[in-house]
Amino acid sequence: MEHDKKNIMVVLSSPSGAGKTTITKKIQQKFNSFKISVSHTTRKPRPNEVNGVDYNFVSKKIFEQMIKEKQLYEYANIYDNYYGTSKEIVDKLIKTNDIIFDIDWQGNKQLSNYEKLNLIKIYITVTSKDELKKRLLKRNQDSKEEVNKRLKSFEEDRKHWKDYDYVVINKNLENCFQQIEKIILSHKKNYLDSINSTIL
């Protein structure tokens, strides 16, 4: 992966329903340098999702071809669908932008294997499993079966918090965002300082 050193990569993982989409949008509004790495998936689009914006929706056959041809930096099978990060998309973006990766713990682990990436790994969670259930039911987006699958992975995900640099609890959206904003600003500053001191 060719990495322009002044740009950073932020992994945001969380259970679905923990507010990650809203926080991602807020990061983009605050820092216009950030672009989202639009993943490829074999999952069917939800009613308001747009191909090429929310995901690149592809067939299982195409996805498996991408795996075979090593076109992905990472991929995972989640809730019986493939999700993955295209090398082509990321390599192009990182030349001019900071990147947000909305990926799960498996993808986070695989990206961590790439050395020398300016990667910040953040896990956003909620206060409890009950709170997550409430949020999932409220957004009324998934079938009962899907809600149960997502609740189950809340426990599984917890085991992988150790692979992240930060775990942030989204009890209050504004507060959670402020914490993430601070993390990003401090990493950007540290990184620029370290580059400047190398140049001097």
Token code pair at residue 58: 């592809």
Q: How far apart are CA 182 and CA 85, in angstroms?
A: 26
Binding of ligand 5GP by 17 (CB under 6 A): no
Site string for ligand 5GP, 75-114 (x = CB under 6 A): -x-x----xxx----------------xxx-xx-------
Q: Name residue, tokens 């990926």.
A: 103
> Contact with ligand 5GP (CB under 6 A): which of 7, 16, 118, 170?
16
Smallest separation, CB 147 to ligand 5GP (Å): 11
Q: Tell which residue, 137, 196, 125, has the closest CA to residue 167.
A: 125
Binding residues among 132-191 for ligand 5GP as defined by CB under 6 A? none
Q: Tell which residue, 55, 33, 34, 53, has the closest CA to residue 44.
A: 55
Residue nearest to ligand 5GP according to CB distances in the complex: 107
Smallest separation, CB 75 to ligand 5GP (Å): 6
116 CB burial (10 A radius; 0-12, 13-18, 19+): exposed
Binding site for ligand 5GP (CB under 6 A): 13, 16, 39, 43, 74, 76, 78, 83-85, 102-104, 106-107
